[in-house]
Amino acid sequence: MNFSAHQIANFVDGEVVGDQNCSVTSINPIENAEPGTLSFLSSPKYSAYLETTKASIVITSKELIEESKFKCTLILVKSPKDAIAHLISLHDQMNSKPHKKGVHSKAEVHETAQIDNSVFVDAFSIVDELSSIGENTQIHGQVYIGPKVKIGTNCIIYPGVKIYKDTQIGDHCIIHANSVLGSDGFGFNPDKEGVYKKIPHLGNVVLESNVEIGANCTIDRATLGSTKIKEGVKLDNQIHIAHNVQIDKHTVIAAQTGVAGSTKIGAYCMIGGQVGFVGHITIGDKVKIQAQSGVARNIKDKSIVQGTPSIEYKNYNKSYVHFKNLEKIENRLRKVEKELKSNQ
């Protein structure tokens, strides 16, 4: 990568302030950027770095430079985050390896499986009977694809992924290393003696298009019907989705979150890390749930919640003022109790 400020401004529809011919070869964070690098500033928290950064070019907005002194060349845009994301995507496309095709000699593909000629299946991967894989999909090494699995076009399945029977995956999906789709749900019934008997899970997992699953996630098959991850959902690493859960379109969930069986999560939700959901509840659309919350009941559309059990975000902040003063309050109560006893 070697681009001038003028060229970069054209990519992101920005305005150059400074040297139009200033050039860069890489992208770095503003706090430790070196000469010859491009950086960006999107938060007023980091505005002070404009005065000290060694970056040659910084992408930012007019609102963030009004009171700042700077030596570098600037490119002013409406949204620095959108601009840098676009540039990183272009950089990735320019530096990506050529698309591979064909089945590696050490891969195993069942004779009844249907694989497009543009698909790549790497070494030690298995594609089982009656499965199908669409155009331009990339299957990395040591992936297991079970019977009757359907995978759409332009998907990337990273090493070590295990996809159980009957799973359906849409187009443009990405599944990162060692994730498991379609394993049995945690379903057991105690008999008269209290011995737990396994409940067979006969359903499947359905991923719609443009879904991304992080590394080491587990998505369980439904007892009956389908566990559904809808269009555009993004899951971080180490997330567990239990049987018959439904996650509606364009919801994002951060790492180490667990969703118990038959819970429904709405569209466009933002869920922080280490959140726990009980089963059989419904979360509305555009809900925000803060990290480490415990969700034990239904949540209405556009709510913001925090805590265990989760409560409305503003109420949580008000309550927290009292939480951290509990020791002082207790000491005051003990003092009052002593004074009352001494006056009796």
Express each pLDDT in 192-209 by its tens digit: 999 999 999 999 999 999
d(CA 48, CA 62) in angstroms, rounded, equals: 15
Q: Which two tokens stand for residue 247?
A: 């996650």
Give the per-residue pLDDT at 338. Answer: 84
Q: What is the pLDDT of residues 144-194, one digit of tens each?
A: 999 999 999 999 999 999 999 999 999 999 999 999 999 999 999 999 999
Query: Residues 151, 174: contact at Cβ < 8 Å?
Result: no
What's the mean pLDDT when you consider all of the chain? 93
Q: Which residue ranges make up each domain of the chain?
A: 3-95, 102-317, 319-344
Beta bridge partners, 289, equal 271, 305
Query: Residues 104, 84: contact at Cβ < 8 Å?
Result: no
At residue 170, φ and ψ (nearest 5 deg) are -75, -160
User: Distance of CA 158 to CAs 65, 141, 143, 215, 274, Å?
Assistant: 42, 7, 7, 9, 24
CA angle at 224 for the pair 165 and 287, rounded to the nearest 5°? 100
Give the per-residue pLDDT at 240. Answer: 98
Peptide bond into 309 cis (omega under 30): yes
AA letter at 314: K
pTM of the predicted model as reported, rounded to 2 decimal places: 0.85
Per annotation, catalytic residue among 6, 86, 243, 322: 243
User: What percent of the chain clears pLDDT 70, i.e. is strictly above it?
Assistant: 99
Average the pLDDT over each of 268-277, 294-303, 322-331 and give the range with the smallest value: 322-331
State the average pLDDT over residues 98-127: 95
Give the per-residue pLDDT at 179. Answer: 98
Alpha helices in 72-206 (DSSP H): 80-95
Confidence grade of residue 119 (pLDDT, cut at 50, 70, 90): very high
What CATH code would you report for 3-95?
Answer: 3.40.1390.10
Alpha helices in the chain (DSSP H): 5-12, 80-95, 313-323, 326-342
State the average pLDDT over residues 311-322: 81
Confidence grade of residue 68 (pLDDT, cut at 50, 70, 90): low
Fold match between 3-95 and 102-317?
no
Chain CA centroid to CA 301, Å: 21
Answer yes or no: 243 catalytic. yes
- Domain 102-317: which CATH number of 2.20.25.10, 1.10.3720.10, 1.20.120.420, 2.160.10.10: 2.160.10.10
Give the per-residue pLDDT at 340. Answer: 84
At residue 92, φ and ψ (nearest 5 deg) are -65, -40
| Helix count and strand count (H, E) for the chain | 4, 40
Q: What is the pLDDT of residues 10-45, one digit of tens each?
A: 999 999 999 999 999 988 999 889 999 999 988 888
Q: Which two tokens stand for residue 298?
A: 């239904």
Give the per-residue pLDDT at 299. Answer: 97
